[in-house]
Amino acid sequence: NNQKSSAETLKEAGTSSVKAKAAVEANKLPTDKNLTVEHLEKFRLCSDLSGLVLEFDTPADLFLAIVDDITPYRWQYDELRRLGGYGDLKTKQERSPEAPLLYCLKAANGSGKDQVIIAATVMWYLCTAKRSRAVITSFSNRQIVQQTEPWIRWLGALLNKKLGRKYVRSVRMHHAIPEIGSRAELFVTDEANAGEGYHPDPGGRMMLCMNEAKGIVHEVYEATARNSGYDTFMQISSPGR
């Protein structure tokens, strides 16, 4: 019943918040065909970010509210709850840069790591607080381009459909909620320096995600871990060396 209530209130929330100054301004961004990262970044830096922040307790709640034709397996649901802060599935623990949520998952290929675990967590992280930043990396271009990014884009499109407007905007390797200043950045690298230099925005928060972590070289892993200010650090991989 709670999940049904969440789904039913999404469109109402999207409609009622469309008059917020940031939402009005975001509606003036270029069409998807002409939209660029530069447009999104300029908007983030200049907007008052007065738009809609959604209230979902965990990524599981978001997924169930916006995805009508897929029911997560029990283990997926439990993992999404853990990523929402319920490490023991009972009591919620708050996360912070001083006490980040450190998460590691090993699961088989084809088990839904990208579609369910990563995509739902990233979208939930972006929409439930202003100035949220998600940084996702992998050594595998195929993994990011063919798996991780399409599923993040898919969930963003479903959320837009539920809200009845373009709340999430996507360009290649960059997904944003302009009216609240949140964004996800994806990159592929085997160079250590590419993993450094990421920090949360002032007054914001940041999560890091390593996909197919088993293949990320040690130097990149160390460089990414040196980023400061994150409150969530995910490592996801299929089994193997």
What are phi and psi for residue 237, nearest 5 degrees?
Answer: -160, 155
Tell me which amino acid residue 25 is: E
Per-residue model confidence as pLDDT tens digits over 160-178 = 999 999 999 999 999 999 9
Average pLDDT of the segment spanning 73-97: 96
d(C-alpha 187, C-alpha 17), whole Å: 32
Which DSSP state fits 116?
A: I
Predicted pLDDT of residue 53: 95
Q: At what angle do helices 74-83 and 59-66 cross, to 10 degrees?
A: 130
- First-residue to last-residue Cα distance in the chain: 43
Tell me: pLDDT of 3 over 60: no
Q: Do 204 and 53 touch, CB atoms closer than 8 A?
A: no
SS3 call for 40:
helix
Q: Do 167 and 160 touch, CB atoms closer than 8 A?
A: yes
Tell me which amino acid residue 230 is: Y
Average pLDDT of the segment spanning 201-224: 84
Q: Do 233 and 100 touch, CB atoms closer than 8 A?
A: yes
Run of H or E residues at 102: strand 101-106
pLDDT band at residue 1 using 50, 70 and 90 as cut-offs: very low
Per-residue model confidence as pLDDT tens digits over 227-239 = 889 999 999 988 8
Beta strand ranges found along 116-188 (DSSP E) = 132-138, 169-171, 174-177, 182-188
Q: Do 47 and 178 touch, CB atoms closer than 8 A?
A: yes
pTM, full prediction:
0.91
Report how far apart, in Å, the C-alpha atoms of 205 and of each of 65, 95, 132, 145 are: 24, 10, 5, 25
Work out the number of other CB atoms within 10 angstroms of the CB of residue 147. Answer: 20
What does the mean pLDDT of the chain come to? 89
Tell me: pLDDT of 5 over 60: no
Among residues of the chain, what percentage have pLDDT more than 90? 67
The DSSP bridge pattern shows strands 182-188 and 174-177 to be antiparallel
